[in-house]
Chain A
Amino acid sequence: MNSNLSAAVPEPMVRLAVYPDRCRGCGLCELVCSTLHEGESRPSVSRIKVEKDRENYRFTPSVCVQCTVPKCLFACPTGAVKVDERTGAKYIDEDLCTGCGLCAEACPLASEGTVIFMHPSKGVYVKCDLCRRRSGGPACVEVCPTHAIVLHEKGGR
């Protein structure tokens, strides 16, 4: 990635880190995320996704890591991927998103369509915005009973 370009994007102030070993697959993170962002408890539109292998008791949460060099942002042709001034969160402005999917294609973590994906009924892409409008910050961190999701200051990919 071109270092000039990355200099133009503010450093993320915070990001989420997940610890799969601690996750026990309760789904609370997915439910709080979708409840606050969509007004419904709906794991399929949660910005954090937990892959659940209950037979083997293995759970893998995945969520955007708020890259220092956010490929999603550079890939977006309409400028819909924006950076929140307060938190540094990369978020998608749903009014500008045309649903082309280039952001998701560019994202190094989005291979399974988990961290940045098409909202099934709205026709726009969605991703974690670190709950930028919420005074308490990331809600999933608050409800995770095992601290499998942790807020880290600074850093990123």
Chain B
Amino acid sequence: MPYGWVGSILYVDLSTGRIDELDTMRYALKYLGGRGIAARIAWEILPPDVDAYDPRNPLIAMTGPLTGTLAPTSGRIVFCSVSPRVYPKPWYTHSTMGGFLGSELKYAGFDGFVVVGCSEEPVYLWIHDRDAELLSAKELWGLTVRQTVERLRKIHGPGVQVACIGPAGENLVRFAAVSHPPENASGHSGFGAVMGAKRLKAVAVKGCGGVKIADPERFVEACKYAMRMARTGTVDAMLKIEYRHPIPSSRPVCSQSCSVNCRIGRTFFDVPRRLDGEGVIKAHQVFCIGGVWTSSQKQGGYEGGGFRVPPITGWEPGEGGVELHMLCDDLGIDLWVLLVFQPWLVRCIELGVNELRGLKLKPRDAKWFQEFLRLIAYRKGVGDVLAEDLRRAVDSMRGELPKELIELAEVLEFAYGFPAHREGRIWDPEPLPFWLVSALMYATESRDPTICTHASFLQLAELYLDDRDLFLRKLRPVAARLWGSEKVFEPSLEDKIGLTIWCQHRHVMLDCLPLCDFTFPRLLKPFKSKTEWLEAEDVYGDLDIEAKLLSTCTGLESTTEHLEETAERIFNLERMILVEKFGRRRDIDEAVARHFQLPCKTDGTRIGLETFRRLLDEYYRSRGWDLRTGVPTKEKLEQLGLEECVQTP
């Protein structure tokens, strides 16, 4: 029995009802876990050009060696599949989630599950102590997320962990979430619709096993050290709330093993348990993006390059914000729906479009928005069009809309149909060089990549904006040490490639071990307050924490170099999946450049196509990718031990 990994991955064929197992250790040493193992499995079984709803499209859920252990923030799981949201044509991508499903899965004896095929009748997968079975979900089909979980708790006991879909997933809404209540979801990639297409309503897990630890004492010490280094949580938590010890219990955890002072979990409300008003839920947690519904995060707004994106206006508790958030959770819709649709609909009205296919628009009205979400989830009226997500929806309404609204949709979901995020234009204020690193990541990945690079880089923008000269003075030695140039953090185009690639590899690492990207990597020391940050001479944290956790947990002698090489292998394997199976080439990477011709909302900087191309050349060169095609070279693939991916011309 290995340490860290529990040794087995379920392989479920819904078409035949057959359940097999794969040996995790066949993949683990080379691909680690999470996105890595998932990519390797996808490489083996995913046929080319498969649509998201094709029965041959596998839905792969993978934990990593640290999931379920004491390692702080390790309670995560990643889903990988062909995403129906990807525009214009679905391709393979990933979507990670916290919570308690991943750890429970390992306690039940499995590192992950792969679901292929399609069931004739609705089913759910019941995984419990080294066993798994497919059970009828006829009674569950049509239920909301909360109702589904309540029902499954009645059947399998209160400790059962559930990931399921709501009506949105059943009705193939392209941004339907895989929901893991009360507060987690794998939302962005629309994998809820993949489950819907497979007629897989839920996965329910219960286990009382454990994860064996190679060197328990040293592992506990490594975890305690990691907790100390991570105690302050996010960068913005550090800036905006003074660190307190002990951590106030009002900072909720959203995942197994979370030890940090996170600002993300922030709000509690007393609200009706269900929207029909039955019973009262004492405290409803509103995590992260859920905040937009309750205006705890006033968001966005942009004017520039001929575009106006009206700001998001959430609703206060009492005005319907919490209820809307809960409705979204209940229907199983990606919570970002507000960030995409509200500004677009408000702009519709500003441009005199007061009606969409018979639906009168009132996007600032909470009651109206409730109805709007239902129309989408049940695909009623114009909801049937909008359930295709904004990019596809405007395509099918081209003749009915003014040009600006079509172009606005292209801006709001500029990257392969994913909503804009931390790109210095629409939502977050990243100045140069932050948005440039975003842009290069966007150009070379399968989805919005910024979602998992908060602590590695993007959140540092808040420190930069707070006091630029101070930030640069403190970060220069760090940059020189890590990337061999003091200019890395300067607001310029120079020396950004090393940092970009580093962020991407750290992202892969986090999705494989796994750990939370708001907390790791610890590029900076854990400053307990802004004063400490201001006074510190040496600000460098510790980037070896991940390797220490992995080594003591699994008994492998891992180092940061080993992890970085593994991450590079996985990143290139994912690239090859896109290249080989979905025709990804340089032209697709370049298409993202258009968005960054819009001026940055903070400093007005932008990048022209020719300059972007030059940077892409530099990026490909550093990666060992062919400059003309953007495909990893034979030499690179062989160096990474990916001989099987070398293309035969």
Interface, chain A (partner B; CB < 8 A): 21-28, 31-32, 34-36, 38-45, 54-58, 120, 139, 142-148
B211 with A23: CB separation less than 8 A: no
Tell which of A31, A40, A41, A145 has the most Cβ of chain B within 10 Å: A41
16 residue pairs of the A-B complex, CB under 8 angstroms, read: A24-B252, A26-B257, A26-B259, A27-B257, A32-B220, A35-B69, A36-B217, A43-B210, A44-B107, A44-B209, A55-B281, A57-B268, A139-B220, A143-B224, A146-B249, A148-B249
A26 with B213: CB separation less than 8 A: no
B258 at interface, CB cutoff 8 A? yes
Task: Bin the interface of chain B by size.
Answer: 35 or more
10 further A-B pairs in the complex, CB-CB below 8 A; given A41-B210, A42-B209, A42-B211: A32-B223, A34-B210, A35-B216, A39-B212, A40-B210, A40-B211, A41-B211, A44-B107, A54-B183, A57-B283
A42 with B210: CB separation less than 8 A: yes
| Cβ–Cβ < 8 Å partners of B224 in chain A | 142-143
B285 with A57: CB separation less than 8 A: yes
A27 with B268: CB separation less than 8 A: no
Give Cα A27 to B106, complex, Å.
15
Distance in angstroms from A95 CB to nearest chain B CB is 21
Closest A residue to B231 by beta carbon equals A145
Using known A-B contacts A57-B283, A145-B246, A145-B247, determine if residue A36 contacts B216 with beta carbons closer than 8 Å. Answer: yes
B107 with A42: CB separation less than 8 A: yes
Give Cα A144 to B227, complex, Å.
10
Q: B residues 53-81 with Cβ under 8 Å of A?
A: 68-70, 72, 75
B253 at interface, CB cutoff 8 A? yes
Give Cα A146 to B211, complex, Å.
25
Give Cα A32 to B256, complex, Å.
13
A22 with B223: CB separation less than 8 A: no
The 5 closest A-B pairs by CB, nearest first: A42-B210, A40-B210, A44-B208, A147-B246, A31-B70
Give Cα A146 to B227, complex, Å.
13
Interface, chain B (partner A; CB < 8 A): 68-70, 72, 75, 100, 103, 107, 181-183, 208-213, 216-217, 219-220, 223-224, 227, 231, 246-249, 251-253, 256-261, 268, 281-283, 285
Closest B residue to A120 by beta carbon equals B208
| Cβ–Cβ < 8 Å partners of A144 in chain B | 246
| Cβ–Cβ < 8 Å partners of A35 in chain B | 69-70, 213, 216, 219-220
| Cβ–Cβ < 8 Å partners of A145 in chain B | 227, 231, 246-247, 259-261
Distance in angstroms from B162 CB to nearest chain A CB is 11
Closest A residue to B100 by beta carbon equals A54
Using known A-B contacts A26-B259, A31-B257, determine if residue A54 contacts B251 with beta carbons closer than 8 Å. Answer: no
| Cβ–Cβ < 8 Å partners of A148 in chain B | 249
B282 with A26: CB separation less than 8 A: no
A54 with B257: CB separation less than 8 A: no
Closest B residue to A37 by beta carbon equals B216
SS class, residues of chain B in contact with chain A = loop
CB contacts between A and B, total, < 8 Å: 101
Give Cα A143 to B224, complex, Å.
7
Give Cα A146 to B249, complex, Å.
6
B107 with A39: CB separation less than 8 A: no
A22 with B246: CB separation less than 8 A: yes
| Cβ–Cβ < 8 Å partners of B212 in chain A | 39-40
| Cβ–Cβ < 8 Å partners of A54 in chain B | 100, 182-183
A24 with B253: CB separation less than 8 A: yes
| Cβ–Cβ < 8 Å partners of A43 in chain B | 107, 210
Distance in angstroms from B645 CB to nearest chain A CB is 35
A39 with B246: CB separation less than 8 A: no
| Cβ–Cβ < 8 Å partners of B219 in chain A | 35
**Cβ 8 A contact of B248, one of A31, A139, A142, A146:** A146
| Cβ–Cβ < 8 Å partners of B249 in chain A | 21-24, 146, 148
B213 with A40: CB separation less than 8 A: yes
Closest B residue to A121 by beta carbon equals B209
Give Cα A44 to B109, complex, Å.
13
Give Cα A143 to B246, complex, Å.
11
Give Cα A107 to B320, complex, Å.
49
| Cβ–Cβ < 8 Å partners of A58 in chain B | 282
B247 with A32: CB separation less than 8 A: no
Give Cα A54 to B209, complex, Å.
21
A39 with B257: CB separation less than 8 A: no
Give Cα A22 to B258, complex, Å.
15
**Cβ 8 A contact of B70, one of A44, A55, A143:** A143
Give Cα A40 to B219, complex, Å.
11
Tell which of B103, B183, B256, B283 has the most Cβ of chain A within 10 Å: B256
Closest A residue to B283 by beta carbon equals A57
| Cβ–Cβ < 8 Å partners of B282 in chain A | 56-58
Using known A-B contacts A31-B69, A145-B246, determine if residue A39 contacts B213 with beta carbons closer than 8 Å. Answer: yes
| Cβ–Cβ < 8 Å partners of B260 in chain A | 145
| Cβ–Cβ < 8 Å partners of B285 in chain A | 57
| Cβ–Cβ < 8 Å partners of B251 in chain A | 24
